[in-house]
Structure 1
Amino acid sequence: MTETSNKSRLAIIFFTVFLYLVGFGVVIPILPILSRNFGATAVQTGLLLSVYSLMQFLFAPFWGKLSDRYGRRPILLLCLLGEVFSYILFAQARSLEWLFVARILAGFFGASISTASAYISDITPKHERSKGMALIGVAFGLGFVVGPALGGGLAVWGASINSEPHFDTSFAAYWVAGLCLANFLFGIKFLTESLSETSESAAKKKRFSIMWHYLNAKTIGPLMAVFMLSSLAMSSMEATLILFMGEKFHWDVKQVSFGFAYIGVIMIFTQGFLVRRLLPKWGERKVLRLGVLLLALGLGGIAISGNMAAMGITMTLLALGNGLANPANLGSISLLTSSQEQGATMGVTQSMASLGRIVGPLIGGLLYQHISITSPFWASGILAFTGFIVIMMIYKSIPEHARQA
């Protein structure tokens, strides 16, 4: 496979993941509105967000395992088509129960993001692996910047067209379904198979036995734990930052949204540019170590920020840290895995991140409500620093194939 061909395939998988994340991001601003219209409590609205991550936790290894057995392309296309139906169901939902069904289906099919990571593993040489993984992060960042803005805009547009109840949110959801359908058709035409050799044993292992196997693997298990700790720390912060900024600096939702957009832009810059410059000079070890340390300092720094200048510094640190750590971590895990098990490994890794996104908001909310408004950020900083300690314990065994002599 030529270098030009691999670059075009990377561009295709990047575009596929980007459109998937845009679709996910569109739902974020309209989901609380729709659930409130159906009489949902704050807890039920939170559960609507959590159930998506729960399905990803349960089924990311499942899709990864199937992609090892049958190939990446058919699994990605199947899941893209499944997302079309999940968003159509979301648009037609007229009760809270059907809204939950739609989000469960979206999480089930959305768990295929691990297969996209495995696709990148298949088509990148070892010295380019972590830089390839950074593309997933760039797609995530762009999706979360573009998606919520697009979702809010579509809902406003829908309301201006028709004032009937739920038309605005249904209008936006149909657009997401159309976006997913375009993504599916794009994949049929341009997405080629990346897996040269399927794994006969992949389909024989059960989901939780696969998770247990990799979590107990030398170096891979600790790296997955670090990935989960980072996700846990970030989601705890995200769940309480809007409350903290409102109470301490009198920010509203609009201002906090711009704050999250700033974090997204920094992460895009870090993973799209900075990581690709640092990895050849430093290798995965140093980039991962620096990233997790900056993440810990940024998260903990929120708790002691007394003015907006200090908050700007801490937001920059945590965005830089997250942007450096994730691709180096994913790349290292991929490098330590055989080519026949990339899908299963990436599935378990993304499953660990989903577990963090399930538990993190709950921990953050409890700490904020019952301890203090700064306690979620101290806790997030400690979680990230625990990940840093784990990295130092396994430091010598982390690969650094990206480093060029």
Structure 2
Amino acid sequence: MNETSNKSQMAIIFFTVFLYLVGFGVVIPILPILSKNFGATATQTGLLLSVYSAMQFLFSPFWGRLSDRLGRRPILLFCLACEGLSYLLFAWARTLEWLFVARILAGFFGASISTASAYISDITPKNQRSKGMALIGVAFGLGFVVGPALGGLLAVWGRHINSAPHFDTSFSFCWVAVLCFANFLFGIKYLKESLSEKSESAEKKKRFSVMWHYLNVKTVGPLMTVFLLSSLAMSGMEATLILFMGEKFGWDVKQVSFGFAYIGVIIIFTQGFLVRRLLPKWGERKVLRLGILLLALGIAGIAFSNNLALMCLTMTVLSLGNGLANPSTLGSISLLTDQKEQGVAMGVTQSMASLGRIIGPALGGLLYQHISITSPFLTSGLLALIGFMIVISIYRSIPEHARVG
């Protein structure tokens, strides 16, 4: 692919990842509404977040491996269409059981986000790889901005249109489904195949043996562990921040939606502007070290935020940390992995993140309910600090391909 073609393909992948995160983020602020409409307990509403990530954890390597064999384009398009259908099912579900079925399907097809990461690996040279991964981070951040804000606003709008039970949530998810189908049609016309040489090297390896293999690879394994810990820390914070802000500052669905949107704006700024300027000066290792440290300090700082000004500061710090750490970690893993196994490697890495999002909400809710409202944030901060210590221990083996001069 030439440079112009690469840019157009990057734009399509950017929008695809953005839509995945919009679909995930929409759920976060309306969980209390779901709890009220369906009579779900706090544990059950938390599991609606966890089950999505559980499916991503189990099936990210599957989609990554399949894309190594069949190509990135067919996998991405198929999963986009099915993702749209899962949101329609969620919109029309009228029992808690069907909500879980819809989220399981959304997580299964959303696991193909690893294929999007592999697509970026295919079309970017080594010295641009981490910058390419930063674009996926921007799409994550933008989806995180639009998703919660859209979820809250559509739910409020839907309630104004019709106050009947379930209409507000159905209204929100029908719009997400429309976005998925629109991107599917866009991809059919414009998305080109990125994989020049299809591989069957990982075909015969079983899912967990593949994961175990990569976790034991020098430098790559520890970096995947860091990615797991940062995901665990962030998801534990996300799941309990809604409860914390409601109890501490009296926030409702609309305010929480915009609070999450603020986090996303900072992540977008960091990954879309700051990372792309710091990487050529510092390289992956220094950016990663700073990012994971800021993440630890920001999340732990929530526990000590007694006013909105201090809360805004800690949210800014943790968002900067997340924005710096994630693309540096993904880029480094990609650089240390054979070109023919990019899909599998990205699939395993996203599985680590999904594992964090499975455990994080459950752990955060347990700590919040049984210990204290600040304990989830202190624990998450500690987990991120452990990630920082791992980075220090492998510091000299982390690549610096993005550094110029």
Q: Which whole-Å deviations, capped at 9, do the CAs of 1:229-272 have from their partners, x for residues lacking one?
A: 00111111222223333444444444343332221111110000
- How has the CA–CA distance of structure 1 residues 100 and 331 changed in structure 2, closer, same or farther, with 3 Å as cutoff? same
Judge conservation of contact 2:233–2:360 (CA < 8 Å) in 1.
yes
**CA drift at 1:191:** 0.7
Judge conservation of contact 1:115–1:346 (CA < 8 Å) in 2.
yes
The aligned amino acid for 1:188 is I
Aligned to 2:103: 103
Aligned to 1:399: 399
Structure 2 runs not aligned, ≥5 long: none
**CA drift at 1:306:** 3.9
Q: How many residues end up aligned between the 2 structures?
A: 405
The aligned amino acid for 1:183 is N
Residue 206 (structure 2) pairs with residue 215 (structure 1):
no
Residue 21 (structure 2) pairs with residue 36 (structure 1):
no
**Overall identity of the aligned pairs, in %:** 82
Q: Secondary structure at the match of 1:204?
A: coil
Stretch deviating more after TM superposition (218-227 or 8-17): 8-17
Q: Distance in 1 between matches of 2:35 and 2:373?
A: 27
Stretch deviating more after TM superposition (272-281 or 45-54): 45-54
The aligned amino acid for 2:382 is I
Q: Distance in 2 between matches of 1:283 and 1:333?
A: 14
Q: Distance in 1 between matches of 2:255 and 2:160?
A: 24
**CA drift at 1:89:** 1.5
**CA drift at 1:161:** 4.2
Q: Secondary structure at the match of 1:195?
A: coil
Q: Which whole-Å deviations, capped at 9, do the CAs of 1:159-190 have from their partners, x for residues lacking one?
A: 44445443333233222222111111111111
Q: Distance in 2 between matches of 1:25 and 1:259?
A: 12
- How has the CA–CA distance of structure 1 residues 278 and 355 changed in structure 2, closer, same or farther, with 3 Å as cutoff? same
**CA drift at 1:32:** 4.1
Aligned to 2:61: 61
**CA drift at 1:6:** 1.2
Instruction: Show the 5 A alignment for 1:220-239.
Output: 220-239=220-239
Aligned to 1:78: 78
Q: Distance in 2 between matches of 1:108 and 1:392?
A: 35
Q: Which whole-Å deviations, capped at 9, do the CAs of 1:135-174 have from their partners, x for residues lacking one?
A: 1111111112112222333334444444544333323322
Aligned to 2:335: 335
Judge conservation of contact 1:66–1:202 (CA < 8 Å) in 2.
no
Aligned to 1:50: 50
Q: Distance in 1 between matches of 2:277 and 2:177?
A: 37
Q: Distance in 2 between matches of 1:244 and 1:82?
A: 35
The aligned amino acid for 2:153 is G
Aligned to 1:191: 191
Q: Distance in 2 between matches of 1:12 and 1:79?
A: 15
Q: Distance in 1 between matches of 2:379 and 2:293?
A: 15
- How has the CA–CA distance of structure 1 residues 386 and 252 changed in structure 2, closer, same or farther, with 3 Å as cutoff? same
Residue 258 (structure 2) pairs with residue 258 (structure 1):
yes
Judge conservation of contact 2:29–2:148 (CA < 8 Å) in 1.
yes
Aligned to 1:379: 379
Q: Secondary structure at the match of 1:202?
A: coil
Q: Distance in 2 between matches of 1:30 and 1:307?
A: 25
Judge conservation of contact 2:148–2:260 (CA < 8 Å) in 1.
no
**CA drift at 1:381:** 1.4
The aligned amino acid for 1:26 is V
- How has the CA–CA distance of structure 1 residues 79 and 141 changed in structure 2, closer, same or farther, with 3 Å as cutoff? same
The aligned amino acid for 1:143 is G
- How has the CA–CA distance of structure 1 residues 258 and 168 changed in structure 2, closer, same or farther, with 3 Å as cutoff? closer
Stretch deviating more after TM superposition (262-271 or 196-205): 196-205
Judge conservation of contact 1:35–1:96 (CA < 8 Å) in 2.
no
Aligned to 1:154: 154
- How has the CA–CA distance of structure 1 residues 32 and 301 changed in structure 2, closer, same or farther, with 3 Å as cutoff? closer
Judge conservation of contact 1:23–1:176 (CA < 8 Å) in 2.
yes
- How has the CA–CA distance of structure 1 residues 36 and 286 changed in structure 2, closer, same or farther, with 3 Å as cutoff? same
Aligned to 1:172: 172
The aligned amino acid for 1:258 is F
The aligned amino acid for 1:221 is G
- How has the CA–CA distance of structure 1 residues 262 and 161 changed in structure 2, closer, same or farther, with 3 Å as cutoff? closer
The aligned amino acid for 2:204 is K
Aligned to 2:293: 293
Give me the CA root mean square deviation.
1.8
Judge conservation of contact 2:46–2:362 (CA < 8 Å) in 1.
no
The aligned amino acid for 2:53 is S
**CA drift at 1:217:** 0.8
Judge conservation of contact 1:23–1:179 (CA < 8 Å) in 2.
no
Aligned to 1:21: 21
Q: TM-score, normalised by structure 1?
A: 0.95
Judge conservation of contact 2:149–2:261 (CA < 8 Å) in 1.
no
- How has the CA–CA distance of structure 1 residues 95 and 244 changed in structure 2, closer, same or farther, with 3 Å as cutoff? closer
